[in-house]
């Protein structure tokens, strides 16, 4: 998925093409893919008219600027399209099974009602009856335990429940580090 500075999925042959056509090293191309692509690459002021949003490229800024700046509008549209595309492609893994929940998380997923709504709208061909409750979506599910979908009286034939679940990536990383340290200490004691 395209991110703030990372390009997301690309054809691997693009690296070789970029090295040859741009006269850059592989490391320089990889640096471009990781630090100067994604949303930033779509609206980078060096590439465009020199005034676009003062070099800011986070989703909040892009959403505010999308009506005045075509590059910001395109970046938001591409992000939503790619997100919906990734969600739809993951449906294949269910092999005809039912998707119980669709979870939005992390910075954009947790805090952008517009991106969530636009993504659900883009998924309409797969979930024609799925609807977000506008108030729940606006408040990030704060008063509904993270549930963003309308109440369907337990009729889940309309599609999955849509949730907004906060993440704490730093805590998860710390827990994993602690687990690995304890595992290493245990192996040491066994020797």
- Over residues 93-103, the pLDDT tens digits come to 887 777 888 99
CA distance 160 to 149: 8
Do residues 146 and 121 make contact, with C-beta atoms less than 8 angstroms apart?
Answer: no
Q: Which residue has the tokens 């009602």?
A: 113
Percent of the chain at pLDDT > 70 equals 89
Q: How crowded is residue 12: how many other Cβ atoms within 10 Å of its Cβ?
A: 7
Q: How does residue 118 score in pLDDT terms, banded at 50, 70 and 90?
A: very high
- DSSP letter string over 104-129? E-HHHHHH-HHHHHHHHHHTTTT-TT
pTM: 0.78
Average of pLDDT values for 146-159?
A: 74
Q: How does residue 50 score in pLDDT terms, banded at 50, 70 and 90?
A: very low
Mean pLDDT, rounded, of the chain = 85
- 9's enclosing H/E stretch is none
Q: Between residues 128 and 154, which one has the greater pLDDT?
A: 128
Collapsing DSSP states into helix, strand and coil, what is residue 139? Answer: coil
């Amino acid at each position: 998925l395209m991110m703030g500075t990372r390009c997301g999925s690309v054809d691997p042959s693009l690296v070789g093409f970029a090295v040859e056509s741009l006269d850059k090293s592989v490391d320089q191309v990889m640096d471009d893919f990781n630090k100067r692509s994604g949303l930033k690459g779509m609206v980078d002021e060096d590439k465009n008219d020199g005034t676009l949003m003062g070099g800011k490229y986070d989703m909040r800024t892009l959403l505010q600027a999308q009506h005045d700046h075509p590059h910001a509008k395109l970046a938001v549209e591409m992000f939503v399209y790619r997100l919906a595309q990734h969600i739809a492609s993951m449906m294949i893994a269910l092999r005809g099974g039912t998707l119980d929940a669709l979870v939005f998380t992390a910075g954009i997923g947790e805090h952008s009602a517009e991106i969530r709504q636009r993504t659900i709208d883009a998924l309409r061909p797969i979930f024609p009856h799925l609807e977000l409750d506008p108030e729940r979506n606006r408040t990030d599910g704060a008063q509904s335990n993270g549930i963003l979908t309308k109440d369907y009286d337990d009729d889940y034939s309309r599609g999955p429940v849509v949730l907004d679940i906060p993440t704490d990536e730093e805590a998860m990383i710390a827990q994993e580090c602690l687990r690995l340290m304890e595992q290493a200490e245990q192996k040491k004691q066994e020797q």
